[in-house]
């Protein structure tokens, strides 16, 4: 069995992620508006609006994260994480695959780097010939 080819792919610039984020923000706003019309403005409603605002802020921060995920044929490396952290070696696991987008769980290889597990969005970009190489690398089974 051959290893998947080496590939580097940008992380955090995924149209599917932006559409999903926008869908849930519109849905949340509609529910909060319907709630306000039906039951009035209560303390619970204000708490829900505060939680939605927090979700809006945190979600926009996640959309802005950028970096590069690299597979060299043996190990994964996450570069320029946008968080001021150094490059980190680790492993990826597929959490969601919708053919044109992947949601990956990044698990750092070492606790000494103080790197936390991350969720990474990767999306098919216009005529990007590296997408299939990335998918091969993500789904490759390692023989240990």
- Mean pLDDT of successive 10-residue segments in the chain (144 residues)? 70 72 88 88 89 83 70 81 67 86 81 67 72 84 50
Q: What pLDDT is attached to residue 50? A: 92
Give the range of the structural domain holding residue 84, as residue numbers without chain letter.
7-12+66-139
**Domain membership flag for residue 2:** no
CB of 121 closer than 8 Å to CB of 134: no
What is the helix, strand, coil percentage profile of the chain, to 5?
A: 40, 25, 35
Q: What pLDDT is attached to residue 143? A: 46
Q: What pLDDT is attached to residue 38? A: 87
User: Could you tell me the pTM of the whole model?
Assistant: 0.65
Task: Say whether both 83 and 50 belong to one domain.
Answer: no
Task: Say whether both 42 and 85 belong to one domain.
Answer: no
**Domain membership flag for residue 144:** no
Domains of the chain: total: 2
**Domain membership flag for residue 1:** no
Task: Say whether both 59 and 77 belong to one domain.
Answer: no
CB of 88 closer than 8 Å to CB of 113: yes
């Amino acid at each position: 069995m051959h290893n998947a080819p080496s590939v580097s792919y940008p992380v955090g610039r995924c149209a599917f992620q932006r559409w999903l984020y926008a869908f849930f923000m519109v849905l949340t706003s509609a529910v909060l508006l319907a709630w306000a019309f039906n039951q009035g403005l209560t303390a619970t409603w204000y708490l829900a609006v505060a939680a939605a605002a927090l979700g809006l802020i945190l979600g926009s921060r996640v959309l802005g994260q950028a970096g590069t995920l690299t597979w060299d044929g043996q190990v994964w490396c996450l570069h320029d994480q946008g968080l001021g952290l150094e490059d980190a070696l680790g492993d990826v696991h597929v959490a969601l695959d919708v053919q044109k987008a992947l949601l990956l769980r990044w698990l750092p290889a070492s606790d000494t780097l103080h790197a936390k597990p991350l969720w990474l969005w990767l999306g098919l970009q216009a005529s990007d010939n590296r997408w299939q190489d990335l998918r091969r690398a993500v789904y490759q089974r390692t023989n240990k």
